[in-house]
Amino acid sequence: MPRNIYVKHRPAVIGAGITLFRRRMLETPKELAWIAAKQALDEAGLTLKDIDCVVIGSAPDTFDGVHMKGEYLADGAGGVGKPTMRVFVGGATGVMVPIAAWWHVASGHCRTVLAVAEEKMSSADIPHPQAVFRYIWDPVTEVPLQPNLIWIFAMEMHRYMYKCHASKEDIALVSVKNKRNALDHPAAQVAANITVEDVLKSEVLVWPVQLLDISPVSDGAAAFVVASEDVARRQTDTPVWIDGVGWALDTTSWTNRDLAFPEYANVAAQMAYRMAGITNPRREIDVAEVYDPFDYKELHHMEGLGLAKKCEAPILTREGVTQRDGDLPINPSGGLLGVGNPIAAAGVMKVAEIYWQLVGKAGKRQVKKPVYTGLAHAWGDLMQASTVVVMRV
Amino acid sequence: MMTRVAIIGVGWYGFRPMVEELSFREMMFEAAVRAYEDAGGINPRTDVDAFASCQEDFWEGIAIADEFAPEPIGGTLKPVYTTPGDGLQCVASAYMLIKTGQFDVIVAESHAKPSDIVNLHDVMLFAMDPITMRPLAIPNYHALAALEAQSYMARFNVPREALAYVVAKDKRNALRNERASYGANITVDDVLNAPYVASPLTKLDIAPYSDAAAVVVLASEDVARRYTDTPIWLDGIHWVTEDPALEFHEWSFPVHAMRAAEAAYKMAGIQDPAKEISFAEVDNRYSFKELQFIEALKLAPMGEAHKYMVEGMFDIDGLIPVNPSGGALGEGVPFEVHGLARLIDAVLQLRGEAGRMQVSKAEKAVVHSWRGVPTTTSVVAVLSR
């Protein structure tokens, strides 16, 4: 993997957009996609006519109950008459979208890419799309056991707590921080001023996972525009370069993995760091949006991404390092725990947040220290996939 | 950056109405092993930079089916991603990855087991807009194709016999193809006399389904030459999606295929496809689609493919053989594998390894895929020896 200085068409993010994240929104998936896409185009100062290619991100088709959802979303995402491609790695799709947008531009195949992710989880089942997750398992060996997705996360959380001597209080701090950060996010669904006490008193779903440890069911869309260097320089004085991309899938057999450390996140991050020329991520990354559908996952992923040493993330969180005014702000947007989790759109929300942080447009969410290099990360499939982008101004 | 992209290995398994002996993961493994062997014995654990898998959740009966992609193709803990689209879209993304200059060897994979699906018609309803189309509960989704066929035939005065000629030609070609399960020695009259599924399409006009897995290995120019003496060059590839709303899309002509072809030809530096292309592998899920796509790919003027067709121009020994493999009518439709199947047939022709279906002149090929109703995406690739 050579350094990205060899990339001739250096791709940059030049605009982003986001809908409200809510449960049971009235808009159709196509409409949600267009609301976000239009905002991104406006911020980039472009119209659909200027867009060469479209990349669509969406997690399982079963949520929307639409087969071939990439085809279905094509008009809402602005892809009519254009090369339109959907990418998919389960929950990690949201950050696979900028990776795909990156290769569309870096290859020289397209100069401008409109990247759109949309998810409507509320259409899947009432009261909770958990039923969809009955179909994510190995159809022969696992489905007959009727597993529930939260069970395996409970196992992983338990394992992490045991291995790292992390307490429930340590982990709850993440939920408290992110939900409070989200108070400043105009699209947020479950922003709140809560305490560790509130988390520990919330309903137990599968011990040790409680209601406030977990992100909500959401509908929403997010989008951004990626352009090649010449277009980016023409449109803006502050392009945000995508300098490194990385992604990896671990084995499908989740039972064979070390649940305490996300190896797949590490492999993906190393790939992105190598491409971006980053040798010490803890020093060189100024702000990060790591995937936090559960509060322990933020800690897990910080360690996988090399932003903390193994088992160090709970300590950094306790010391306030990951706060918005800390030395390494993590999820200043409020993350999935605060803003909401329309799966693929949540990943794109993170990319958008890093873009807004780096160009200084994050408003009340703007982190205190000056930031030049940011990282967005998403995670998915059977706890096996990670996608990472490193962005710079 | 200016590196060319080559196809250095192909592998496949199945192409039968029902593969009973292997699971989809085992089929993927078999196809991958063959492709890696064909690519000069590469080791996926060390020699491949990224893996692309093309599949759709509903076909698999698994939500988040891409979870199962890494292991059977040797991609565990490596960059693997899924493109829910035809296999040729995976080839397009592999092409772009190599063109970035950051990747040297990419694997594109696709698999399908239609024989596992007990309620295919219901699955198809889920592919239609939940508000405008699904409530109509179209009793047979082939009716959408039949409407397109009616529209095309009315606009260009295409006789029913030309469609039947396509079926007879392709089924006959398929008899020479070792992968084809649906080869048959039938006549135009046999097709015309078969009962209608949805007028003007008879059962013989509609490609049946088959189970299959296919794996293709792509490499940058330098690396390709290290592994093989017969790289097949991917000179151009492009894909276009038309309006997905059935209410608004162009029923009489596949504009998506034409736009994709124009861009792919431009990339490949082809001015006059009808002169420069030696043969074509195009989508023919429905007989009339082959005629439409021949025109969209500019191998015949718009609305006139049927005339050249019945004159034998697109026969296996004609001026521009189209679907010498028999295409989907001969091999069956293994969902997203379909485009890779067309590609594999073209690669073998260009290498001169197509056996009894070998065409006499195989210098430059155009390969096309479409994803069936109700989709409006086409991918077009131009290959050369």
**B-chain residue closest to A266, CA distance:** B77
Q: Say if A82 is an interface residue toward chain B (CB within 8 Å).
A: yes
For every residue of A109-120, DSSP letters joined together read S-SEEEEEEEEE
How many CA atoms are closer than 13 Å to the CA of B378, on its beta-carbon side?
30
What is the reported pLDDT for A8? Answer: 63
Q: Which residue, among B51, B77, B91, B102, would best test binding to A if mutated, counting the most A CBs under 10 Å from its CB?
A: B102
Do B244 and A72 count as a contact with CB atoms less than 8 A apart? yes
Largest CA distance in chain B: 56
B104 vs A125, more confident: B104
By the CB < 8 Å criterion, does A347 face chain B?
no
Residue B113 DSSP SS3: coil
The tens digit of pLDDT for each residue in A253-274 reads 988 889 999 999 999 999 999 9
Measure the CA–CA gap between B3 and B363, rounded to whole angstroms. 20
Residue A7 pLDDT = 56
List C-alpha distances in Å: B350 to A82, B247, B291, B380. Answer: 30, 40, 23, 17
By percentage, how much of chain B surpasses pLDDT 90? 97
What the block records as the tokens of A103 is 């290769």
Which residue of chain B has the CA closest to A247?
B79
Lowest mean pLDDT among A2-16, B62-76, B82-96: A2-16
Amino acid, single-letter form, for residue A81: G
**A82 φ/ψ angles, rounded to the nearest 5 degrees:** -120, 165
B-chain CB neighbours of A386 within 8 Å are none
pLDDT at position A337: 98
Distances (CA, A) of A285 to A167, A216, A240, A265, A308: 27, 28, 14, 16, 11
Q: CB distance B102–A70 less than 8 Å?
A: no
Chains A, B: CB pairs < 8 Å: 203
The pLDDT of residue A380 is above 90: yes
Over the stretch A77-103, which tens digit does the pLDDT of each residue have?
Answer: 999 999 999 999 999 999 999 999 999
CA distance B381 to A147: 43
Residue A344: pLDDT above 70?
yes
Residue A50 has pLDDT above 80, yes or no: yes
pLDDT digits (tens, 9 = 90+) for B252-283: 999 999 999 999 999 999 999 999 999 999 99
pLDDT of B279-334, one tens digit each?
999 999 999 999 999 999 999 999 999 999 999 999 999 999 999 999 999 999 99
Q: pLDDT for A189-219, tens place per residue? A: 999 999 999 999 999 999 999 999 999 999 9
Q: Which residue of B has its CA nearest to A72?
A: B244
Bridge partners, B198 (sequence order): B201
To the nearest whole Å, the CA of B304 is away from the closest chain A CA by 24
In a mutagenesis test of the B interface, which of A55, A75, A85 is the best target, namely the one with the most B β-carbons within 10 Å? Answer: A85
Taking the C-alpha atoms of residue A261 and residue A256, their distance in angstroms, rounded to an integer, is: 13
Concatenating the DSSP letter of every residue in A145-166 gives G---HHHHHHHHHHHHHHHHT-
Kindly determine whether residue B131 and residue A28, on different chains, have CB atoms separated by under 8 Å. Answer: yes
Residue B263 · residue B92 · CB < 8 Å: no
Compute the nearest-CA separation of B124 from chain A (Å): 7
* pLDDT mean over A45-68: 94
Which whole number is the average pLDDT over A353-381? 97
Cα separation, A302 vs A310, in Å, equals 9
pLDDT reported for residue A123? 83
Name every residue whose Cβ is closer than 8 Å to that of residue B192 and which is 6 or more positions away in sequence: B160, B161, B164, B202
Of A324, A328, A325, A350, whose CA–CA distance to A337 is shortest? A350
Q: Check pLDDT > 80 for residue B71.
A: yes
A152: which strand partners? Answer: none
Q: Is the pLDDT of residue A108 over 60?
A: yes
Binary contact (A140, B23; C-beta < 8 A): yes
| Partner residues linked to A139 by β-bridges | none
* Amino acid residing at B150: Q
Q: Return the structure tokens found at A93.
A: 């799709």
Instruction: Indicate yes or no: CB of A84 within 8 angstroms of CB of B75.
Output: no
Q: What is the pLDDT of residue A3?
A: 45
Between positions 171 and 230 of A, the ones with CB within 8 A of B are none
Q: pLDDT category, A65, cuts 50, 70, 90?
A: confident
Contact A6 B76 (CB under 8 A): no
Asked whether the predicted pLDDT for residue A276 surpasses 70, the reply is: yes
The answer to whether A109 faces chain B, any CB pair under 8 Å, is: yes
Alpha carbon of A70: minimum distance to chain B alpha carbons (Å) = 7
Instruction: Give the C-alpha distances (Å, rounded to integers) separating B131 from A29, A222, A242.
Output: 11, 23, 38
Place of tokens 């398994």: B13
- Tens of pLDDT, residue by residue over A237-252, are 999 999 999 999 999 9
Q: Are A96 and A87 in contact (CB under 8 A)?
A: yes
Does residue A118 or residue B245 have the better pLDDT? A118
- The partner residue sitting opposite A65, judged by closest CB among B69, B130, B243, is B130
C-alpha–C-alpha distance, residues B322 and B279, integer Å: 6
What pLDDT is stored for residue A104 in this prediction?
97
Main-chain phi, psi angles of B127, to 5 degrees: -85, -5
Contact A65 B69 (CB under 8 A): no
Round the average pLDDT of chain A to a whole number and report it.
94
Q: Flag whether pLDDT at A4 surpasses 50.
A: no
pLDDT in tens, A306-320: 999 999 999 999 999
DSSP class per residue in A316-369: HHHTTTTSTTSSS-B-TT-HHHHT---HHHHHHHHHHHHHHHHTT--GGG--SS
Burial of B271 by CB count in 10 Å (0-12 exposed, 13-18 middle, 19+ buried)? exposed
Which chain B residues have a beta carbon less than 8 Å from that of A65? 126, 130
The pLDDT of residue A9: 79
Is pLDDT at A126 greater than 80 in this prediction? no
Whether residue A71 contacts residue A260, with contact meaning beta carbons closer than 8 Å, is answered with no
pLDDT at A5: 44
| Facing residue for B67 by CB, picked from A1, A69, A382 | A382
Instruction: Say what the ipTM of the complex is.
Output: 0.96
> CA-nearest residue of chain A to B125?
A67
pLDDT in tens, B326-350: 999 999 999 999 999 999 999 999 9
Quote the CA–CA distance of B271 and B286 in Å, as a whole number: 29
The residues, any chain, with a CB within 8 Å of residue A255's CB and separated by 6 or more, are none
In sequence order, which residues have a C-beta less than 8 Å from that of residue B354 and are 6 or more positions away?
A: B324, B325, B345, B348, B362
Nearest one of B107, B12, B15, B111 to B62, comparing CA atoms = B111
The rounded distance, in Å, linking the Cα atoms of A392 and B294 is 47
